[in-house]
Structure 1
Amino acid sequence: MRHTYTRFISYSFFFITLLTGCSQSSTSEKGQNSESKKLVVGVSMLSMQNEFIVNVHDAMVKKAEADGVELITVDAERSALKQVEQIESFIAQKVDAIIMNPCEVEASSPAVTKALAAKIPIINVNSETSTKPTAFVGSDDVESARIAMKYIAEKLGGKGNVVMMHGYMGQAAQIKREQGAREILKQYPNLKLIAHQTGEWDRAKAMSLMENWIQSYGGQINAVFAQNDEMGLGAVKALTDAGLKDKVIVVSIDAIPDGLQAVKKGTLDATVFQNAEQQGSKAIETAVKAAKGQAYDKETLIPFQLVTKENLAKFLK
């Protein structure tokens, strides 16, 4: 489904006089030398301490540079409150469009409401809010967890004990990846989820959490599903240190470079590729179209792909 938004820009009488004889459409054309004609997009990212989020942002920067778009990027540092304040600041600056990588489904929603009220297009990238933005660019997180848990179920022959590491609680990816994992668990009654807790997308926290689970459950654990690679790698380190890695399957999501290298080494059994480059570039493309009043996709979903040693080569750069 395609929607079109038109943004009206007010010019001073003097400026209009200078532009007499020029068509209004020419002012937004690519290649304008005047800085005043450059589209400005405000960007609020969940956390620039997270490798995958940084990869999404790098893709946005690359696409923005290619398209002559100015980005103003801020780091919400996992705070939805800070993120809402950042969007308020972008509104005050009268940016042409906003891209938000939401911290939380509910708590980041007021930012969407405020941007829409100010008639500024707001695009959610990678993660969602309960309030619908102008457009969403990302992937179906439910599907990523289905892929990961299905792989675990098949490797264990449908029987065994699983632990699950959640991401930052309340964030869309955490909610949907839990949903997808539980959908598959329901299909395998002999596959038991014996523990689940947040590792907050963090490698060190996940390592500590895995150490605690090893203390509590020891050799009972047959598989770990970590909702991102950072946590998966933390789990791998703890299991390796305890001499248990060869007995436990570990699967995670994102296919960050470290995750791919771990699959290559055989320490991480599988990961699920999420395309940061496409998410970032498509977010910029959508923001530009919405700001210019051009037709754009209301929702862009980029597929996930299972990565194992067998197909690893096509994902390594």
Structure 2
Amino acid sequence: MKPISSIVLTISLISTLVACNQSTTSESSQNGDGKKLVIGATMLSMQNEFIVNVHDEMAKKAEADGIDLITVDAERSALKQVEQVESFIAQHVDAIIMNPCEVEASSPAVTKALAAKIPIINVNSETSTKPSAFVGSDDVESARIAMKFIADKLGGKGTIVMMHGYMGQAAQIKREQGAREILKQYPNIKLIAHQTAEWDRAKAMSLMENWIQSYGSQINAVFAQNDEMGLGAAKALADAGLKDKVVVVSIDAIPDALQAVQKGTLDATVFQNAQQQGSKAIETAEKIIKGQPYEKETLIPFQLVTKANLSQFMK
């Protein structure tokens, strides 16, 4: 299997080559000059499975609609992301889709695109500067769902730890907010530690190992702000012989997480719809380019996934 970074480069090269080909079909989306529409996309990290899933759906929708999609990987760098948007502006793309690295530090990219009169759509994550449109889900709600499940499992009493995503990113900020909202309702549940594992499975495993050494059997539950971290935490707990005693819940419902719920490694995950986020981002960009009516904010609901309803989400 090719590394993801190679796939992204291949997509970019193919898109650029296709863009140079002036032939179009009657089924393709075209701009006013009769040329195929070109959309530039900058993604937070193509090493993150959920982000890759969102991008794959964007690519499918773009191909179906005859749009050239040029994808670049920001590699979690907001500075790099702003530079990538500047490059798209210089290429005179018809629209830009950005999966922001950070709420504040990625905001200049939005400002620059709007100043250049190029529509910019944020997908999955937000910036403080408002883009032309946003397509994603309410991350506050996802954490409320996850933490409420944990509270119910613990009977409203116990000690928990929380793993943050990449600090400063909208999902991290909002998922912490949602979790703390629920914790306020349960004074007998104590948050004894919280730290970032940067959405990463290996970093989460290492962090969980440290927490096991520090707190051991005091830990009753783990809330991980995404599945990659939840799976890393669950592995560390299993290795320490503690998994059966600790509730582990995470967010995204990636395939590995669904299998973990099936096996009982994860107690629950919260489904985030990558298919709709990706396809709706392209659809929204296309509508804006063509001057058609569009939604400035498209919010796709989260859903709790447990063994009880797992079959609805397994492919």
What TM-score does the superposition give when structure 2 sets the normalisation length?
0.90
Who is 1:280 aligned against?
278
Q: CA RMSD in A?
A: 1.6
The structure with higher relative contact order (CA 8 Å, sep 6+) is 1
Who is 1:67 aligned against?
65
Who is 1:118 aligned against?
116
Tell me, in whole angstroms, the C-alpha distance in 1 between the residues paired with 2:284 and 2:271: 22
| Letter in structure 2 aligned against 1:273 | F
What TM-score does the superposition give when structure 1 sets the normalisation length?
0.90
Which of residues 33, 46, 49 is equivalent to 2:47? 49
Q: 1:120 to 1:214 in 2, by over 3 A?
A: same
Who is 1:303 aligned against?
301
Tell me, in whole angstroms, the C-alpha distance in 1 between the residues paired with 2:255 and 2:185: 32
Q: CA deviation at 1:292?
A: 1.1
Q: CA deviation at 1:188?
A: 0.2
| Letter in structure 1 aligned against 2:272 | Q
Who is 1:244 aligned against?
242
Q: CA deviation at 1:37?
A: 1.4
* Structure 1 residue ranges (4+ consecutive) displaced by more than 2 angstroms after TM superposition: 27-36
Q: CA deviation at 1:30?
A: 4.1
Superposed, 1:1-317 pairs within 5 Å as 30-31=27-28, 37-317=35-315
Tell me, in whole angstroms, the C-alpha distance in 2 between the residues paired with 1:178 and 1:94: 38
| Letter in structure 2 aligned against 1:243 | G
- Write the deviation string for residues 69-102 of structure 1: whole angstroms up to 9, x where unpaired: 1001000000000000000000000000000000
8 A Cα contact 1:202 1:231, kept in partner:
yes
Tell me, in whole angstroms, the C-alpha distance in 2 between the residues paired with 1:32 and 1:197: 46
8 A Cα contact 1:44 1:74, kept in partner:
yes
Tell me, in whole angstroms, the C-alpha distance in 2 between the residues paired with 1:152 and 1:268: 12
Q: 1:93 to 1:315 in 2, by over 3 A?
A: same
Aligned residue for 2:45, secondary structure, equals coil
Who is 1:19 aligned against?
none
Who is 1:3 aligned against?
none
| Letter in structure 2 aligned against 1:313 | S
Who is 1:14 aligned against?
none
| Letter in structure 2 aligned against 1:203 | R
Q: CA deviation at 1:229?
A: 0.2
Q: CA deviation at 1:31?
A: 3.6
Aligned residue for 1:37, secondary structure, equals coil
| Letter in structure 2 aligned against 1:127 | S
Aligned residue for 1:169, secondary structure, equals coil
| Letter in structure 1 aligned against 2:279 | S
Tell me, in whole angstroms, the C-alpha distance in 2 between the residues paired with 1:36 and 1:125: 27
- Write the deviation string for residues 16-37 of structure 1: whole angstroms up to 9, x where unpaired: xxxxxxxxxxx99744799961
8 A Cα contact 2:164 2:172, kept in partner:
yes
- Write the deviation string for residues 32-84 of structure 1: whole angstroms up to 9, x where unpaired: 79996110000000000000000000000000011011001000000000000
Structure 2: gaps spanning 5 or more residues = 1-23
| Letter in structure 2 aligned against 1:130 | S
Aligned residue for 1:132, secondary structure, equals coil
8 A Cα contact 2:45 2:74, kept in partner:
yes
